[in-house]
Amino acid sequence: MDTSIEQKVQQLREQLNRWSHEYYVQDRPTVTDHEYDETYHELVRLETEYPQLVTSDSPTQRVGGVVLEGFEKVTHQNPMLSLSNAFSKEDLQAFDDRIKKLTNRTIDYVCELKIDGLSVALTYQDGQLVLGATRGDGVIGEDITHNIRTVKSVPLSLEHPWSIEVRGECYMPKKSFQQLNQLREEEGLEVFANPRNAAAGSLRQLDSKVAASRNLAVFLYQSPSVETLEVASQMELLEKMQALGFVTNQESVLCHSIDEVWAFIEKMTVERNNLPYEIDGIVIKVNDFKAQEEIGFTVKAPKWAIAYKFPAEEAQTIVRDIEWT
């Protein structure tokens, strides 16, 4: 087989992955769906004719053919920690006071929306996605690579051969949750209680064709590979991950005081209903990594981060659903 076919297949594969990145990661498509589909089917035709040219990062390989028997266990080299909770402005003030006692550095905070999904860890080896795992109990998770690969905003390969791990939240957008439950109701199936359960149920499917039909998404917010990435703060990490092609949440802000943090919380308490995904609070993290190291951890959670949880809104839930449907 001549190399021009090989080059053609590689060119189509890279073109489709770039278009997919524009659409699912940057939300700025430069081609029509029709143009994407035509190119995709040209690649499928060539890969069918020359199967030896298929690579694992080809867009045609996102949905695997095999239905798994079960999930392999995965041990996280760096435990995936949880978060302590705050429920009031006073709790946040106490958090700020504790921080000030544990370091003399000037402290800035990064506020991130607390995405109400399922924590996942993505491992890339020489730029190729090799593992997708759930958080599990923080140390032992499950290998869900076959389902993570179906999430369109998860790159199957990176532009440069990075060997890194990135972590974030896999979630189901509100609209997809609505449509899924409507479908399940029509089919007489049990509906999911909330988008988080729907995302978890989708990622725990043994058949990746089911996961692929669930329109899952991810936001990435953490990485144990900060030395490799050469970043010195949470804000730099978020910017670096975005530059590498990962989706990070664009609402994250840098705050210079706990009062600014509280102002952001008040703003998002109102705006959360208009977000296309569910959040159950705001995660506040000390920005500087050296300060984080000084402040340290408890057994299960960092002392340099806290999750402000929105008040449970049982009564409003019905109103909320009616408002945006």
Please give the positions annotated as active site: 114
Any contact of residue 221 with ligand 0OW (CB under 6 A)? yes
Which x/- pattern over 100-139 shows residues binding ligand 0OW (rule: CB under 6 A)? ------------x-xx---x---------------x----
| Ramachandran category for residue 136: left, alpha or beta (phi over 0 → left; psi -120 to 50 → alpha) | left
Distance, CA of 86 to CA of 284 (rounded, Å): 10
Binding flag, residue 169, ligand 0OW (CB under 6 A): yes
User: What's the alpha-carbon Rg for the chain, to the nearest Å?
Assistant: 21
Element (H, E) at 176: helix 174-186
Q: How far is the CB of 278 from ligand 0OW (least distance, A)?
A: 11
Q: Residue 111 in contact with residue 46, Cβ under 8 Å? A: no
3-class DSSP state of 280: strand
Which among 36-44, 76-84, 88-96, 202-210 is the span making contact with ligand 0OW, rule CB under 6 A?
A: 76-84
- Within its chain, how far is the Cα of 295 from the centroid? 26
CA dist 118 and 76 (Å) reads 16
Q: Strand, helix or coil at 211?
A: helix
The only residue of 110, 144, 180, 283 in contact with ligand 0OW, by rule CB under 6 A: 283
Among all chains, which residue has been given the structure tokens 């299960």? 300
Among 213, 302, 309, 310, binds ligand 0OW (CB under 6 A): 302
Q: Nearer to ligand 0OW by C-beta: 96 or 112? A: 112
Smallest gap from residue 268 Cβ to ligand 0OW (A): 12
Other Cβ atoms closer than 10 A to 210: 16
Q: Determine the interface stretch with ligand 0OW among 66-74, 80-88, 198-206, 312-320 (rule: CB under 6 A).
A: 80-88
- Asked if 224 touches ligand 0OW (CB under 6 A), the answer is no
Which residues are near ligand 0OW by CB under 6 A?
81-83, 112, 114-115, 119, 135, 169, 221-222, 283, 302, 305
